[in-house]
Amino acid sequence: MAIGVILGLLVGAVLGLTGAGGGILAVPALIFGLGISMPQAVPIALIAVGMGAALGAFYGLRRGTVRYKAALLMGAAGVLGSPLGVAMAHRLPAQGLSLLFAAIMVLVSLRTLRQARGLGSPAHQADAAKTCRISPNTGRFVWTGKTAATLGAIGVISGLCTGMLGVGGGFIIVPALAHYTELRMHSIVPTSLTVIVLVSAFTVASFLAQGLVIAPPEWAFIGAVVAGMAVGQYLARRLTASVLQRGFASVCLVVAGLLIARSLM
């Protein structure tokens, strides 16, 4: 149980530091730390990350930085994609899921390294090319059919990955919002966390309806993630974005290599 607590604190800290990375580390932490299979790890990771994200979303709502209409739209769309992801997870072999998860981790780490070097970051993208515009008068989205369709598509893809792999919230939503909208990071991260809470809650409910049972070490991991989230948010104010991104990318590459080696053995 001690290993689960330590790993949970680390995963929660990453979630608090980056607003996006905790989920992608939660599943490998459960696989290697608690020795459970990929299908077993997915719902536990969703509960842990969903509860941790709820803390960050609450802070964002209190500060008024959550774009709640956009979050509700993406969350509703994610709920539509999540059951398909769960169904695919039950039909794919565990080895295939692990290799797919590892491939996503490598892609995420490479994108994060590019951002740490100042390439492809939101600051380098012309606002004129954004699909979803922000009103200069109200600071809110200018709602058009294209805006709704774009945000809805982001939600569906996020829900699909969430149901299939237990991840897909932050690492899809954050870069997508940065690319397609005029939102700045102080709004993107809490909005992403709000969507994660909504989609995770629905997906976990479906797992519980199928008879999910959570063991005491898994509950300890979940509680540690929530505690680590608070620690991560405190540390995030004291570290530079470049340091956070490089550290997260390095961890992702190492964990992806371990997952690939484990799957092929």
254-265 pLDDT, tens digit per residue, is: 777 877 887 776
72-116 pLDDT, tens digit per residue, is: 999 999 888 888 888 887 788 877 877 887 887 788 778 777 766
Query: CB of 27 within 8 A of CB of 101?
Result: yes
How far apart (Å, rounded) are the C-alpha atoms in residues 115 and 242? 8
Q: How many domains does the chain have?
A: 1
Confidence (pLDDT) at 122: 46
162-176 pLDDT, tens digit per residue, is: 877 766 566 678 778
Q: What is the mean pLDDT of the chain?
A: 80
Residues of the chain with pLDDT > 70, as a percent, come to: 86
The more confidently predicted of residues 6 and 256 is 6
12-31 pLDDT, tens digit per residue, is: 887 777 655 566 778 888 88
How far apart (Å, rounded) are the C-alpha atoms in residues 157 and 256? 22
Query: CB of 221 within 8 A of CB of 202?
Result: no
Greatest mean pLDDT among 128-132, 194-198, 204-208, 232-236 = 194-198
Instruction: Of 247, 232, 164, give the one whose Cα is nearest residue 10.
Output: 232
Instruction: Of 261, 47, 71, give the one whose Cα is nearest residue 183.
Output: 71
Helix (H, G, I), strand (E, B) or coil at 44: helix
Greatest mean pLDDT among 47-56, 86-95, 145-154 = 145-154
The tokens describing 42, both together, are 């997915």
Torsion of the alpha carbons at 117, 123, 127 and 133, rounded to the nearest 10: 110
Domain range for 100: 2-264
Confidence (pLDDT) at 71: 92
60 band by pLDDT with thresholds 50, 70 and 90? confident
120 band by pLDDT with thresholds 50, 70 and 90? very low
28-43 pLDDT, tens digit per residue, is: 888 888 888 877 888 8
Burial class (CB in 10 A: 0-12, 13-18, 19+), 223: middle
Decide if pLDDT at 124 tops 60: no
Confidence (pLDDT) at 118: 63
